[in-house]
């Protein structure tokens, strides 16, 4: 049976303004339900999907079955590799919590220094970055906020500091989930996106610890610990740059380990440095230390976002007696993450072979299967004005699902979690308890990611994102700045950098193409312009992490400040705007100013 090819139209209503308004309706509906109406993210996502489906079918003329398969394609990618990676990372983390080994990890970090300024660096930033890479989904703010309150930080300040710290590492959170998502909607290789992010975020990472400390004390008190700030932020920034770009130099893909390795590296280097240097006078808070929250049970009147936060903090492991730390106990506590690192490196090597010689066989089976999506692959034709080949030939969109059951980052992490269970001597009851807890914690984040990707794929294949992209291109040469702000808005809406990339990634690529065609990028190729603008969606988006509803609710729950969400939002909103503007300005410089334009890589 021969199917008719669907040809996208940029202006289906023959009125540019009305067509742009219609194309924006799924995002408008999503915003209205998430912010004023305070719906749960998956529920709002479904409403956005329905809106996009109806508009794609009735206004854009896309056949209903093609719109449905677009949604299925997006959901499939949202579950594998994105959802699988997030679930497996949280499962591994929960294994260490259940067995008490995470308590040893926590103690090995919090005991390095008694100075509150240095504790903010070590716990809020370095340890928070490690948690962002290992688990993501709000765990850095939850865990670090609780630890800092237990060390004597004022609960409100602890929440603010953790929200500020949980920014520059987010693009590589959950083992690179945001960049994987951005690749899925743009087709730009994840390795190229990682290099671009690695040419922006390390500069911010270097200054974030100093930014945090200045928020908690005076300039004089901040400069008193400038060596520790330079070592803590500088070591993480150096590692972040190295692992984000290493495949460009030595051919080994390690970007999923950027946050985990960077956080550990920063902790170790700073700890060694503190053996030789201490501030002249230790700085402490006046109030006595408060007991670290053991559990969080929000009252029934809290809204959906607070319930979402509670899922991430639910049912912690029973308290264990704190025995003296020994080299063996510390090594065993960190061992699951070392095992995960080794497995990620091995699967990365296999993935490189997949890219050069498909298929790669493991006995009688392949390491991945590329499955064309029926009724969609090769059946959607871009509007002529958006055809990148510009030779007059039809340009059709590919729709191929890569079932990478071996080389997905989530597969390596899941294997590490399974192997860690006997290594940590978990009983059968503990295994089931950890599995149930992880399923409960992920019952909102994974459906949210799946819905956002389903929504994104509908707008992408219908051509709605193209309509918006052409409209955004009217901003001309200044668009690189607004690309970062759009990513910031996306994280504020969806609660995750991955969700923002799913929502706006394809739109950013189209807008980059149209802006390039206007002739403003004199030092960049079209492919480079697309890489820069699309990556800005993620790097600018991370600065919106501190103001999204889930993060703020997690912060208030972890520090026992339920009901103070509005106060914390007011305290961090300007920090969020300032840091997002920094990324926007950095993107502008890399777009136009030589030699900074040389920092933009070309896809291979």
pLDDT digits (tens, 9 = 90+) for 144-185: 776 777 677 888 888 888 888 888 788 887 777 788 888 887
Count of beta carbons in the 10 Å neighbourhood of residue 272: 12
Whole-angstrom distance, CA of residue 347 vs CA of residue 416: 12
Smallest CA-to-CA distance from 139 within 496, 409, 452 is with 496
Smallest CA-to-CA distance from 588 within 527, 497, 496, 524 is with 524
For residues 252-270, average pLDDT: 83
Three-state DSSP at 2 gives coil
Mean pLDDT in the chain? 81
Count of beta carbons in the 10 Å neighbourhood of residue 297: 11
pLDDT surpassing 80 at residue 548: no
Whole-angstrom distance, CA of residue 541 vs CA of residue 178: 10
pLDDT surpassing 90 at residue 318: no
Three-state DSSP at 261 gives helix
Cis amide leading into 463 (omega within 30): no
Which residue is associated with the tokens 């607070």?
306
What pLDDT shows up at residue 317? Answer: 47
Three-state DSSP at 256 gives helix
DSSP for 201-244?
Answer: HHHHHHHHHHHHHHHHS-HHHHHTTHHHHHHHHHHHHHHHHHHH
Longest distance between any two alpha carbons in the chain, whole Å: 80
| Selected residue with higher pLDDT from 249 and 572 | 572
pLDDT surpassing 50 at residue 299: no
pLDDT digits (tens, 9 = 90+) for 65-81: 999 999 998 888 778 77
What pLDDT shows up at residue 292? Answer: 41
For residues 196-206, average pLDDT: 91
Token pair of 411 as six digits = 């597969």
Whole-angstrom distance, CA of residue 54 vs CA of residue 49: 9
Whole-angstrom distance, CA of residue 479 vs CA of residue 477: 6
- Partners of 402 in beta bridges: 370
Q: Are 101 and 417 in contact (CB under 8 A)?
A: no
pLDDT digits (tens, 9 = 90+) for 553-568: 667 666 767 667 667 7
- Kindly tell me the burial class for residue 174, based on how many C-beta atoms sit within 10 Å of its own C-beta (0-12, 13-18, 19 or more): buried
What pLDDT shows up at residue 58? Answer: 94
Whole-angstrom distance, CA of residue 580 vs CA of residue 100: 38
What pLDDT shows up at residue 293? Answer: 40
CA dihedral 299→305→308→313, nearest 10 degrees, is -60
Whole-angstrom distance, CA of residue 269 vs CA of residue 234: 10
What pLDDT shows up at residue 566? Answer: 67
- Kindly tell me the burial class for residue 519, based on how many C-beta atoms sit within 10 Å of its own C-beta (0-12, 13-18, 19 or more): exposed
pLDDT digits (tens, 9 = 90+) for 72-105: 988 887 787 777 877 887 788 889 889 988 888 7
pLDDT surpassing 60 at residue 2: no
| Selected residue with higher pLDDT from 557 and 430 | 430
Whole-angstrom distance, CA of residue 429 vs CA of residue 126: 33
Q: Which of 88-92, 103-107, 293-297, 504-508 has the lowest mean pLDDT?
A: 293-297
For residues 21-47, average pLDDT: 82
| Selected residue with higher pLDDT from 41 and 67 | 67
- Partners of 403 in beta bridges: 369
Whole-angstrom distance, CA of residue 525 vs CA of residue 528: 5
What pLDDT shows up at residue 230? Answer: 92
Smallest CA-to-CA distance from 278 within 112, 128, 106 is with 112
Q: Are 350 and 356 in contact (CB under 8 A)?
A: no
What pLDDT shows up at residue 307? Answer: 54
DSSP for 476-503?
Answer: GGGHHHHHHHHHHHHHHHHSSHHHHHHH
pLDDT surpassing 90 at residue 464: no
DSSP for 377-440?
Answer: TT-EE--GGG-TT-SSS--EE--EEEE-TTTSHHHHHHHHHHHHHHHTT--HHHHHHHHHHHHH
* pLDDT cut 70: percent of the chain above it: 85
pLDDT surpassing 80 at residue 199: yes
pLDDT surpassing 80 at residue 418: yes
- 447, HSE (Cβ side, Cα atoms, 13 Å): 15
Q: Which residues contact 24 (CB under 8 A, 6 or more apart)?
A: 468
Reported residue count of the chain is 604
Whole-angstrom distance, CA of residue 272 vs CA of residue 294: 31
Q: Which residues contact 560 (CB under 8 A, 6 or more apart)?
A: 149, 155, 293, 296
For residues 521-549, average pLDDT: 86
Alpha helices (H) in 224-357, listed in sequence order: 226-249, 258-274, 304-312, 327-356
Whole-angstrom distance, CA of residue 382 vs CA of residue 123: 49
For residue 223, give Cα distances in angstroms to 114, 198, 210, 229, 272: 17, 27, 9, 9, 20
Using DSSP bridges, classify how beta strands 369-372 and 6-7 pair: parallel, antiparallel or unpaired: unpaired
Helix orientation angle between 565-592 and 479-494, rounded to the nearest 10 degrees: 150
What pLDDT shows up at residue 302? Answer: 42
- Partners of 6 in beta bridges: 380
Whole-angstrom distance, CA of residue 164 vs CA of residue 544: 10
pLDDT surpassing 50 at residue 301: no
pLDDT surpassing 50 at residue 522: yes
pLDDT surpassing 50 at residue 449: yes
Smallest CA-to-CA distance from 313 within 290, 292, 289, 285 is with 292
pLDDT surpassing 70 at residue 3: no
pLDDT grade, residue 291 (50/70/90)? very low
Cis amide leading into 393 (omega within 30): no
pLDDT digits (tens, 9 = 90+) for 323-376: 788 888 888 988 888 888 788 778 777 876 776 677 788 888 898 888 999 989
pLDDT surpassing 90 at residue 434: yes
* pLDDT cut 90: percent of the chain above it: 18
Whole-angstrom distance, CA of residue 176 vs CA of residue 292: 30
Kindly report the pTM of this predicted structure: 0.73
């Amino acid at each position: 049976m021969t199917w008719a090819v669907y040809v996208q139209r940029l202006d289906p209503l023959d009125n540019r303004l009305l067509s742009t308004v219609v194309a924006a309706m799924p995002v408008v509906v999503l915003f209205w339900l998430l912010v004023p109406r305070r719906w749960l993210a998956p529920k709002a996502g479904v409403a956005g999907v329905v809106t996009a489906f109806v508009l794609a079918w009735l206004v854009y003329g896309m056949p209903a079955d093609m719109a449905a398969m677009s949604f299925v394609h997006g959901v499939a990618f949202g579950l594998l590799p994105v959802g699988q990676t997030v679930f497996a990372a949280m499962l591994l983390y929960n294994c260490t919590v259940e067995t008490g080994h995470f308590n040893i990890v926590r103690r090995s970090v919090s005991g390095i220094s008694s100075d509150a300024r240095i504790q903010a660096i070590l716990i809020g930033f370095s340890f928070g970055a490690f948690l962002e890479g290992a688990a993501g989904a709000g765990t850095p703010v939850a865990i670090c906020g609780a630890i800092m309150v237990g060390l004597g930080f004022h609960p409100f300040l602890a929440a603010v500091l953790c929200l500020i710290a949980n920014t520059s590492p987010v693009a590589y959170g959950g083992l690179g989930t945001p960049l994987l998502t951005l690749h899925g909607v743009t087709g730009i290789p994840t390795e190229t996106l990682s290099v671009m992010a690695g040419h922006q975020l390390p500069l911010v990472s270097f200054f974030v610890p100093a930014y945090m400390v200045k928020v908690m004390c005076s300039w004089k008190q901040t400069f008193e610990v400038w060596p520790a700030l330079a070592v803590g932020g500088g070591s993480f920034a150096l590692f972040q740059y190295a692992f984000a770009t290493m495949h460009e130099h030595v051919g080994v893909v390690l970007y999923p380990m950027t946050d985990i390795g960077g956080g550990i590296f920063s902790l170790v280097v700073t700890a060694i440095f503190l053996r030789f240097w201490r501030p002249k006078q230790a700085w402490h808070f006046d109030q006595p230390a408060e007991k670290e929250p053991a559990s969080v049970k929000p009252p029934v009147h809290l809204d959906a976002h607070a319930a979402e936060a509670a899922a991430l903090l639910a049912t912690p492991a029973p308290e264990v007696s704190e025995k003296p730390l020994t080299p063996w106990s510390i090594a065993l506590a960190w061992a699951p993450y070392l095992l995960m690192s080794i497995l990620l490196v091995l699967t990365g090597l296999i993935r490189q072979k997949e890219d050069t010689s498909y298929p790669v066989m493991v006995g009688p089976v392949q390491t991945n299967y590329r499955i064309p999506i029926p009724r969609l692959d090769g059946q959607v034709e871009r509007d002529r004005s958006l055809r990148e080949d510009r030779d007059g030939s039809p340009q059709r969109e590919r729709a191929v699902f890569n079932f990478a059951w071996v080389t997905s980052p989530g597969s390596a992490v899941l294997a590490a979690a399974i192997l860690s269970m006997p290594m940590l001597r978990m009983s059968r009851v503990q295994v089931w308890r950890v599995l149930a807890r992880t399923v409960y914690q992920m019952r909102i984040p994974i459906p949210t990611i799946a819905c956002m990707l389903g929504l994104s794929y509908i707008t992408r294949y219908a051509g709605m994102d193209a309509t918006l992209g052409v409209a955004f291109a009217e901003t001309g040469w200044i668009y690189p700045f607004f690309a970062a702000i759009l990513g910031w808005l996306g994280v504020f809406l969806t609660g995750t950098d991955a969700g923002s990339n799913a929502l706006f990634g394809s739109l950013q690529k189209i807008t980059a193409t149209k802006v390039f065609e206007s002739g403003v990028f004199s030092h960049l190729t079209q492919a480079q312009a697309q890489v820069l603008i699309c990556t800005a969606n993620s790097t600018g988006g991370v600065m919106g992490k501190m103001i999204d509803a889930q993060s703020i609710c997690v912060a208030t729950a972890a520090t026992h400040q339920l009901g103070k969400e509005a106060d914390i939002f007011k305290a961090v909103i300007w920090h969020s705007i300032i840091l997002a503007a920094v990324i926007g300005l950095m993107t502008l410089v890399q777009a136009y100013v030589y030699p900074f334009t040389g920092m933009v890589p070309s896809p291979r």
